[in-house]
Amino acid sequence: MSTLDAAVQAKVNTWLEGNYDEATKAEIKALVEKNAVTELTDSFYKDLEFGTGGLRGIMGVGSNRINRYTIGMATQGFANYLKQTYPGESIKVAIAHDSRNNATVFAQVTANVFSSNGIEVYLFDELRPTPQLSFAIRELGCKGGVMLTASHNPKEYNGYKAYWNDGGQLIAPHDKNVVAEVAKIKSVDEVHFTGNPDLIHSVGKEMDDKFIARLASESISKEAIKRQKDLKIVFSPIHGTGFTVVPPTLKAYGFENVILVEEQCTMDGNFPTVVYPNPEEHEALTMALNKAKAIDADLVMATDPDADRVGIAVKNNKGEFILLNGNQTGSLLMEYVLRAWHEAGKLNENTYVVKTIVTSHLMDSIAKSYNTSCYNVLTGFKFIGDIMTRFEGKKRFVVGGEESYGYLVGDHVRDKDAVVSAAMIAEMTAFYKDKGESLFDALLDLYIKHGYYKEKLISLTKKGKAGAEEIKEMMKGFREQTPASLGGVKVAVLKDYELREETNLATGKKSEIQLPKSDVLQFVLEDGSIISARPSGTEPKIKFYCSVKGSLPSKADFDAVSANLDAKIDAIMKDLGVA
């Protein structure tokens, strides 16, 4: 019979003997009786920490699981930090949740803890998207906020995204400071779970109206929409919050032919029609694609459960529906919006765009073609939001994006926004159709002008404590034995964002990386290809991003060039040992 590590056993005993509800204790006892050492270890070996997306994990009992106690302790720590940061001031927070199982319960626990600490709470009365929470924080003058969501993770997960007064997710030093405050709480007895109803206010339709009106103000091609108002748009919220505001926002833009995937418009945290509620996955868009083929649609869109990411499908030049990846959609949005601003004479030395370091350099090339500054930040949209907040009142944000299907047009929030993105993607489709072109045509035009940038992401899932250690060892190995070449091309530069150090491997010359520390490695090859290795901050995964580039002389050459770039990526990934 296996035995628990002493530290894990001590935590298990604390939960069994402490002020936890009987159902929780019964669940732990059942695991103990089954001698479920692995499950108990994974549930108790550490405390959940804030990563790139806040607090996120599998729901269940234990300090390393999402439950009312870990949610309560996180909220108590956040409340303590807010009160320290704003001593003697009136503090307001906003709270929203998506369709995840237990999200309503966790939202109420969060509201109760804040209010019992004397903090005024604005709680959405129904599920709403993450970007709307960011908008509400700014609109209501809140000092912070919380979104209960696990984004696109599987149904077993839930999470807690913590926001600051600008409407952006917590970043340094606030994230670590909140974690430190949570760590000071040695017992759930220190958490004030009993709420003060007088301090909890309901947020309803009035915020929808303000949010949608603000998004509608971003519309650029109103005349093209009028001519293409019957554009056939198939939309799926994949059982999530997109259903609440995406269709009315499309209507506000002027689109009159939005076809919903009815089966996926039920708000259900079990996500019954998909394996994985992620618009990055082809399987999640299967029902939408089938409907689109049946009615010969112009555009397919699907949002993840908290509607901060959107995936799309368009027709290629053979009339077949294909899914665009996040780099392609983000590049199209950047070109469309920058072109419009350029034609309107709105671009100047103070306008800028932002992307992450693992997102396609096609976006950098597009920005350069419009003489617009492009800032590269660490992975996580909170870093894009941070740039926006730092430049607020000094420079003007135009558009931003990341390869993981998150984009933002306009400065109304400090997070990725699938609602405004869906509306602008529909508008972009109408604009090009009005000219007799498709989005696919527009993408090929970008490749002909700037080069065919092709990217591939490989994610390796490594669950539990053993998986976390394996990922750590992989990164250590890459650092200690940097490959000399990948795919037959020499590695010219190693960028280690953990050390904040860039090394020219030919000369040994080192230079400082002007970004915060992050556990990311980038191999830059002599031909300009870039391969990034990054452990995920929100999932038990290590991610490998590969970006290569080729020349596309004409649209007729697309298939051949694409095949060559695929072979190049495969060779690189094989050499890395992750193919």
Q: pLDDT tens for residues 69-102?
A: 999 999 999 999 999 999 999 999 999 999 999 9
CB 491 within 8 A of CB 481: no
- Residue 65, helix vs strand vs coil: coil
Average pLDDT, the chain: 95
Query: What's the confidence (pLDDT) of residue 53?
Result: 58
CB-based contacts of 557, cutoff 8 Å, min separation 6:
none
As given in the structure block, the two tokens for residue 252 are 């506000």
For 200, the token pair is 């909890």
For the beta carbon of residue 461, count every other beta carbon within 10 angstroms: 11
Rounded-to-integer distance, Cα 144 and Cα 54, Å: 13
CA distances from 87 to 8, 115, 139, 176 (A): 37, 16, 22, 19
Q: Which domains does the chain have, with CATH numbers?
A: 1-42 (no CATH), 46-203 (3.40.120.10), 211-450 (3.40.120.10), 454-576 (3.30.310)
What the block records as the tokens of 170 is 């917590």
Backbone φ, ψ for residue 72 (5° rounding): -65, -40
pLDDT at 186: 81
Q: What is the number of other CB atoms lying within 10 angstroms of the CB of residue 118?
A: 13
Crossing angle of the two packed helices 326-343 and 362-369, in degrees rounded to 10: 10
pLDDT tens digits for 219-229? 999 999 999 99
Q: Label residue 48 exposed, middle or buried (CB < 10 Å: 0-12, 13-18, 19+).
A: buried
CA-closest candidate to residue 158, choices 73, 245, 99, 244: 99
Query: Average pLDDT in the 414-443 region?
Result: 98
11 - beta bridge partners?
Answer: none
pLDDT the model gives residue 268? 97
Task: Give the whole-number percent of the chain exceeding pLDDT 90.
Answer: 91
Three-state SS sequence of 354-415:
EEECCCCCHHHHHHHHCCCEEEEECCCHHHHHHHHHHHCCCCEEEEEEECCCEEEECCCCEC
N residues, the chain: 579
pLDDT band at 185 (very low <50, low <70, confident <90, very high): confident
**Alpha carbons 463 and 39: distance in angstroms, whole number:** 11
Exactly one of 115, 134, 151, 331 is catalytic; name it: 151
Taking 90 as the threshold, does the pLDDT of residue 180 lie above it?
no
The band of 367, judged by pLDDT with boundaries at 50, 70 and 90, is very high
Nearest-angstrom CA–CA distance, 560 and 571? 17
Task: Average the pLDDT over 139-145 and give the result.
Answer: 98
Residue 45 neighbours by CB under 8 Å, 6+ apart? 5, 7, 8, 11, 64, 465
Contact between 36 and 44 under an 8 Å Cβ cutoff? The reply is no
Annotated catalytic residue 151: yes
Q: Return the pLDDT at 178.
A: 85
Tokens of 341: 């601003």
Find residue 541's DSSP bridge partners: 461
Query: Is there a contact between 406 and 538 (Cβ–Cβ < 8 Å)?
Result: no
Q: Is the dihedral of CA 547, 552, 556, 557 positive or negative?
A: negative
Q: Is the peptide bond before 173 cis (omega within 30 degrees of 0)?
A: yes
- Residue reference for tokens 């370091």: 357
Instruction: Give whole-number Cα distances, 34 to 15, 28, 43, 88, 261, in Å.
Output: 17, 10, 15, 51, 43
pLDDT confidence of residue 172: 86
The amino acid sitting at 69 is Y
Confidence (pLDDT) at 50: 65
Instruction: Tell me: pLDDT of 1 over 50.
Output: no
